[in-house]
Structure 1
Amino acid sequence: MLRVDVLLLDLVIVLGAARLLGLLAKRVGQPPVIGEIVAGILLGPTLLGPWIGDDLFGPDMRPALSALADVGLILFMFVVGLELDQKLVRGKGKVAASISVGSTVVPFVLGVLLALTLADEHAHGRTLAFVLFLGAAMSATAFPVLARILTDRGMQRTMIGGLALASAAVIDVLAWTVLAVVVAIAGTEAATGQWQILLAVPYVALMFFVVRPLLARLVPAFERAGRITPGLLSIVLLGLLTSAWATEWMHIHFIFGAFLFGAVMPRAGAEKLNHQILERLEQLAVLLLLPMFFVVSGLNVNLRTLTVGSFGVLAAILAVAIGGKLAGSYLGARLRRLPGRQASALAILLNTRGLTEIVILTVGLQKGVLDGELYSLMVLMALLTTAMTGPLLRRVYPDRRVARDIAEAARVTLDGTTSYRVLVVIPGDPLDAGPLAWLAASLASARTPSEVVLGHLQPYPAGRLEVGTGLSSELAGMTETLGALEALAAGVRGRGPEARVVSRFSADVAAELPGLAESARPDVVVLARDTPGLDRVVAEATCRTVTVLPGTYEMTGPVAVHPGQDDAAAHIALQLALATGRPLVVLGRGRGAALAQRLARLGVETTSADEAPSGALVVAAAGAAAPSGAHLLVRAEQDADPVDWAAVTPSKVGG
């Protein structure tokens, strides 16, 4: 009989143990999921069972705990489907396909061969489902845990990181597809007359061609409300649970219904909607239900029943799992002519199994494809292959190589042309950066060819969750940010220059910003006065810098310039005047008059004045003598050469 007081005590113990061991795992450089699963193993029959475990987590309590764990699993699989992004493989299709095929086929075949040797003892009359299931379990890769490992090392910005994510996304799809087939076979083996399974294909078509267009209507409703309302979230949850129920009723498994519902959620224009959905669900799933799933998974592991022969089976499982993954991934990468060290790093990354493997094993246990002993051994394999990823990766691909790859990736991205380049540093929220992008586009449009680089460093969220799903909120936030940056880039292109976006996570924006400026190799850097690390960027820049002061963009009058000891400020002012069609006014006597005469000889009409006209955009040389009324402060590059006035088209300015 279910006792509510014991159930509540179980929840306290489970959450406390999961949180504690998850933090300990993170402290030693491991994903928190490892600590949460270990917590379940320790609370189960392996350690506490003979004493208090049977009373706390006995047969009466398991159904309630498993129900909570299943709800957490539904939410997790929905998030996996929602985060499924085809952009991960865009531009990497052939290489990612080669790596993912090798990383899937080789361990699958080896897993099938191992299963054939174990079938007499562990298949229990369901040989076909058992053999296919073990092959699928060997070929899995934990995309969410992999994403977290890459982000923690900054490798998501590199070519290796991008290939690893792209390959893992393809492997995930292949693994879930094979698992769906296995579960279907297991269902037909277990009983007869299960005609519902024949509805699986029509159901998938219904979801993509009927439900998906209906869900797209959530986007305008969200935009009208400006937030995710309880009504909208209720629609999503009702659809999610209905889809999970439908696939469970078809004798497949509820995880596929949850995954499919996430996959058919709207993408175009729905970044903010999906981000807010993820934020709401993560609070519940990450802090309560997913740890419950991990601990319940660990409760099903009983290491006390293992014999000496079991450790021989464990050794064979590890050899097939690790050897198959490493060999298949490495060969697939080498076939695409990747260098040996990079191919090795990719193979190590794709050997990460973690959370995805636990989900697959849990399905196998629930469907009776795995017995308790083999389930325990496979969980140990999942823990060991995940735990070895970080240390092996650091040995094969140390931090200094990662730093070099990050810098090289930035150079490859930005050095496609020798055009005049303006880097504009976008503040935390790109939605507020329209005026900065306009200014950068104006400067760039005065030269041909030219381009604007929209540089953005996004800080990690304060107090971010140790997400079992890996990167759900951060990737959703980055997706939303990239959408806003691409909108800015489109506006820049509309004015003529090319535009590129460079955006990444940063643990310390002020410290990393000078490196971003250096790697972009710009001719001009544009940044706001309140930019973190501004003084260091200006001091270390080897190019011209334009500091934008508050209140600049209400200026609708002429461009006025206070010339300094060099011509940098005057050059920037001339570019702006040419690009915007505004009159150019040179301020001050002496040096100002001389500058006006020089520009006149170039065919540029200017006027002179002692004070800036009303509404003028005032450009001044940076320094102690900069006038208080300036809007843009320009500092010349270090060891500056004389200004090449002819590089700016000597069009008529004035009128």
Structure 2
Amino acid sequence: MSIALFWLGLLGLFAAATWLGSRLRLIPIVSQLLLATLGLPLLMQWSAPLGFGASELLAADWLKPLYGVAFTLLLGHILSDVIDLDLQADSVKIALPSFFLPFFCGLACALWLLPAQSLLGSIAVGLLFALTAIPVLFLYLQHLRYPAPRIRQLLQAAILMDLLCWLIFGLAQGSSQPATLLWPLLAASLPLLFKLLPCRSARFNGLCFLVLLLVMQQLKLNALVFGIAYLLCSAVLRVPLRLPLPSSVFAALQTWLAVPLILAYGLLQIDWQNAWLGYSWLQFGALLLLPIASKLLGNWLGLSWAAGRLAPSPGQWRESVLLNTRGLTEIVFLNLLLHQQVISTQLYFALMLMGLISTLLPAFTGAYPRPATTTHEARSHYEHS
């Protein structure tokens, strides 16, 4: 009972931080990242004398199933945003340098600077260098009142980058464990059956998608490959798919339950006493600076290619910074890697801190000036778009 009360109190702290952040014009994920990365270690030190250690908090029988549901909802929502078969040529030009330059930089960093790890772990580091957060990018662009065609172009570039990320990791993981790839691909063919039915419900298709995604996650099969293949199959066959929850309900679950739970679940697995000891200052500094620097350079090259010129401009610099945001997408991917023991807790901590800096960078650099539109208005627009 005391463990459940502690988790309720922790969710209450996240709610308070989110509310306070909204008064300061901060997007919810930024407030939650700040509390999780900077406040949670202090909270754990304060609660240790009361007998609330991380191992006790994570051992509750009801926690893992609840985490699985929260993780499935977020992953399903992100993947459903990723699938877009109508990409613009300029979006592809932006995405390719923006993805592959930081990806190869991260791969080189993992192979030559970091302690020895598996090839899959090194690929995962490269992918974490290359990610862009779709929801956070959308909210930033809405706050800045970008024109709709430009928002679509930049979001398509972010979608393509994230699709490449999920697909490369899924295939790399499945190549070493074929069974974890075969069953998800077979399950992803379910839309073929829906195509034969005279009456096709988009919400029922979305419900089947989420249920099977949860099953894959619980059985430790390749949920990423399943999700991408299922959504691509539905899109190609023109089988309608809509997530079963209303947008307002999903937004509330995401803000007040799913994201805080996923953040806390991942960060509580870190040994805060030794979080800095796994790497030298050179290695830790590289994990903080190289992802941001390589991503900014890749973004600038991609935007220059799409614009047909290399001359720098204030707008191009601002968009390079905005495309560097990490946010929710990286949190989900980091937790997936940590859950599957692909990365260490020290690497998780360093890259979580890097993601926080990247997400706040638009405000630090002036690329995201104080908006006239409120956070609530922009978020409502996103939820209904």
Specify whether residues 210 and 344 from structure 1 end up closer, same or farther in structure 2 by C-alpha distance, changes over 3 A only. farther
Q: Tell me how far apart the structure 2 counterparts of residues 269 and 198 of structure 1 sit (CA, whole Å).
A: 22
The answer to whether the aligner puts 1:351 opposite 2:334 as a matched pair is no
The answer to whether the aligner puts 1:154 opposite 2:115 as a matched pair is no
Moved more, 316-325 or 258-267: 258-267
Q: Which amino acid aligns with 2:152?
A: G
Q: Which amino acid aligns with 2:200?
A: R
Relative CO higher for 1 or 2, CA cutoff 8 Å, sep ≥ 6? 2
Q: Which amino acid aligns with 1:355?
A: L
Specify whether residues 323 and 211 from structure 1 end up closer, same or farther in structure 2 by C-alpha distance, changes over 3 A only. farther
Q: Which amino acid aligns with 1:7?
A: I
Aligned partner of residue 54 in structure 2, secondary structure: coil
Q: Pick from 134, 158, 169: which aligns with 1:168? A: 158
1:41–1:301 Cα contact (<8 Å) kept: no
The answer to whether the aligner puts 1:373 opposite 2:371 as a matched pair is no
The answer to whether the aligner puts 1:474 opposite 2:384 as a matched pair is yes
The alpha carbon displacement at 1:309 in A equals 5.0
The structure with more strand, counted as a fraction of residues: 1
Q: Tell me how far apart the structure 1 counterparts of residues 316 and 197 of structure 2 sit (CA, whole Å).
A: 43
**CA deviation vs aligned residue, 1:356-408 (integer Å, no higher than 9, x gap):** 1111111111121211111111110010011112343537xx68xx99xxxxx
Aligned partner of residue 127 in structure 2, secondary structure: helix
Q: Which residue is 1:83 aligned to? A: 81
Q: Which residue is 2:122 aligned to? A: 131
Larger radius of gyration: 1
The alpha carbon displacement at 1:181 in A equals 2.6
* Percentage of matched positions with identical amino acids: 20
Q: Which residue is 1:16 aligned to? A: 12
Q: Pick from 293, 300, 303: which aligns with 1:330? A: 300
**CA deviation vs aligned residue, 1:158-197 (integer Å, no higher than 9, x gap):** 63x3332121111111111122134335x64xxxxx6343
The alpha carbon displacement at 1:14 in A equals 1.9
Q: Which amino acid aligns with 2:179?
A: W
Q: Which residue is 1:217 aligned to? A: 200
The structure with more helix, counted as a fraction of residues: 2
Q: Which amino acid aligns with 1:318?
A: L
1:74–1:258 Cα contact (<8 Å) kept: no
Equivalences for 1:20-59 in 2 at 5 Å? 20-41=16-37, 44=40, 46-53=41-48, 55-56=51-52, 58-59=54-55
The alpha carbon displacement at 1:328 in A equals 1.0
Q: Tell me how far apart the structure 2 counterparts of residues 361 and 244 of structure 1 sit (CA, whole Å).
A: 18
For structure 1, the 5+ residue unaligned runs are: 189-193, 220-231, 404-458, 476-655
For structure 2, the 5+ residue unaligned runs are: none
Specify whether residues 213 and 26 from structure 1 end up closer, same or farther in structure 2 by C-alpha distance, changes over 3 A only. farther
Aligned partner of residue 132 in structure 1, secondary structure: helix
The answer to whether the aligner puts 1:99 opposite 2:71 as a matched pair is no
The alpha carbon displacement at 1:353 in A equals 0.8
Specify whether residues 74 and 243 from structure 1 end up closer, same or farther in structure 2 by C-alpha distance, changes over 3 A only. closer
Equivalences for 1:513-552 in 2 at 5 Å? none
The answer to whether the aligner puts 1:284 opposite 2:245 as a matched pair is no
- TM-score, length of structure 1 as denominator length: 0.51
The alpha carbon displacement at 1:77 in A equals 1.8
Q: Tell me how far apart the structure 1 counterparts of residues 374 and 209 of structure 2 sit (CA, whole Å).
A: 32
Q: Which residue is 1:296 aligned to? A: 265
Q: Pick from 39, 53, 57: which aligns with 1:61? A: 57
The answer to whether the aligner puts 1:115 opposite 2:110 as a matched pair is yes
Specify whether residues 214 and 280 from structure 1 end up closer, same or farther in structure 2 by C-alpha distance, changes over 3 A only. farther
Q: Pick from 170, 173, 183: which aligns with 1:180? A: 170
Moved more, 303-312 or 33-42: 303-312
The answer to whether the aligner puts 1:363 opposite 2:336 as a matched pair is yes
Equivalences for 1:525-604 in 2 at 5 Å? none
2:266–2:338 Cα contact (<8 Å) kept: no
Q: Which amino acid aligns with 1:315?
A: G
**CA deviation vs aligned residue, 1:591-616 (integer Å, no higher than 9, x gap):** xxxxxxxxxxxxxxxxxxxxxxxxxx
**CA deviation vs aligned residue, 1:406-447 (integer Å, no higher than 9, x gap):** xxxxxxxxxxxxxxxxxxxxxxxxxxxxxxxxxxxxxxxxxx
The alpha carbon displacement at 1:141 in A equals 0.5
Q: Which amino acid aligns with 1:80?
A: I
